[in-house]
Amino acid sequence: MSEEDDLQGGEPNGMVRLSEMATVTDFVEWHESLEWIDHMLTDFSHKIRLAISNWSGLNLLALSLAGLATIAGAWDLGIGELAGGGDYRFSGISIFNPESGLFAISSSSFFLTIISGALWLGFIGVNWQIFPLMRSHAIALMASIVCVQVGMISAHAGAPNFPFGTNASDFLGIFVGEAILVFILIVVIHRSVTETRDLHVQTRHQHPDPYEMERAKRDHSLAGWTLAIFLFAVCINLAGFAGAAHVAQRPPFESSRMFSYLTYILFTMLSATLMMLILWYPQFMLGGTTLTIESEASRMATAAIVDTSNDIGTCPSCGTPSAAHMTANGIIVSACNTPDCNGEGPVSQDCPICENPISAIIECASCGTGASVSDLFPMEDAW
């Protein structure tokens, strides 16, 4: 099922366009400045409905692998490694140090650790299979999870009751981990997807009617997807804190610590689900196109070095080859339409010479017909 069908409500379950949905909340009635909350929550609920109606068995397989990996990594029933607090005299994971903590754990714990790692690799592998446009982003998200977890462990290593009994140095690991998390989520992922979405709307949904353009922008809103990124950041921090706090306590224990144990499992599973939602939506939006998901700067750099002779657009009226061509990465490049400028670059982005936007409307040199780039390069659109 294509995304175009989903947004037009053409499929059996009657999914409507986001622009046609009534808001699920009414914060705007309290104050007009809160209207963005209504749009974000409505968009998020729409994304959830789309995911439920479009996720397949492979998506459920990935979630199952994440769940099994979480349970295997936290399993302690019949082992007692976590319940007993471990041996505080040994630490580290080096395989070359005989006194490493890796060799101080029981064989059962070691086996479950290997199984958990293998299952997480399987989770990444399935996501690579079903989200080919987001493969590098999947690795980036997993790296952000590891960085946050390492930061939490670093903080709890010097202060088992973190944040109580801490000093400034105990916050260094968390600061570094959070800085990497923010960079990955905002600069690497959000920026590249947002700029690719803008290019997609400007090239594939070009329309002379401003109302239709605004409608297309609303249908391609990333407000709910942005909320998913925020919730992902919250969940991995809560999971990281709960996991580090659970193993940092020194015996004898005053309680069973079951709350931190279950909190870790719950928010780790929520993190995996949100991670898949973050990867799924851009793939769903652009899966039927030839665009790659990258930032504007990266796209312009790619357009400058990639061979652009592979595909030349043709006028939809007379069939004459146009001045626009498509790179192997799906980037449509055209000459700048500013007088006395010889620059060229990706359409709807700034010309590298005069810095004026390169028009997405290409005029045919033969018949004079002005056509959008989506008409010059007909393809099946996923949106």
What are 334's strand-pairing partners? Answer: 345
Position 2 pLDDT exceeds 60: no
Give residue 5's pLDDT: 41
pTM: 0.73
Position 261 pLDDT exceeds 60: yes
Of the two residues 279 and 10, the one the predictor is more confident about is: 279
Of the two residues 6 and 180, the one the predictor is more confident about is: 180
Give residue 68's pLDDT: 94
Position 133 pLDDT exceeds 70: yes
Task: Give 27's pLDDT tier (boundaries 50, 70, 90).
Answer: confident
Give residue 7's pLDDT: 43
Give residue 343's pLDDT: 75
Whether 291 and 196 have beta carbons less than 8 Å apart is answered as yes
Position 205 pLDDT exceeds 60: yes
Domain boundaries, the chain: 55-130, 133-294, 307-376
Whether 102 and 94 have beta carbons less than 8 Å apart is answered as yes
**High-pLDDT (> 70) share of the chain, %:** 70
**High-pLDDT (> 90) share of the chain, %:** 23
Mean pLDDT of 118-136: 91
The span from the CA of 169 to the CA of 158, in Å, is: 9
Give residue 54's pLDDT: 85
Residue (of 264, 52, 36, 54) closest to 149 by Cα position: 264
Strands 370-372 and 311-314: unpaired
Mean pLDDT of 368-377: 67
Tens digit of pLDDT for each residue in 206-240? Answer: 666 677 777 777 777 888 899 999 999 999 999 99
Give residue 163's pLDDT: 80
Of the two residues 106 and 379, the one the predictor is more confident about is: 106
The span from the CA of 346 to the CA of 373, in Å, is: 11
Tens digit of pLDDT for each residue in 69-99? Answer: 999 888 766 666 666 656 666 666 666 776 6
The span from the CA of 186 to the CA of 32, in Å, is: 27
Average pLDDT, the chain: 77
The span from the CA of 180 to the CA of 154, in Å, is: 15
Give residue 82's pLDDT: 66
Give residue 252's pLDDT: 58
SS (HEC) of 268-287: HHHHHHHHHHHHHHHHHHHC
The span from the CA of 242 to the CA of 262, in Å, is: 9
Tens digit of pLDDT for each residue in 100-121? Answer: 666 667 777 778 888 999 999 9
Task: Give 165's pLDDT tier (boundaries 50, 70, 90).
Answer: confident
Give residue 229's pLDDT: 95
Tens digit of pLDDT for each residue in 308-367? Answer: 444 677 776 676 777 677 766 567 777 777 777 777 777 777 777 777 777 777 777 777
Q: Looking at the chain, list the stretches that DSSP marks H as alpha helix, in order from N- to C-terminal side.
A: 3-8, 35-54, 57-74, 107-130, 135-158, 172-182, 191-204, 210-219, 223-248, 258-286, 296-305, 373-376
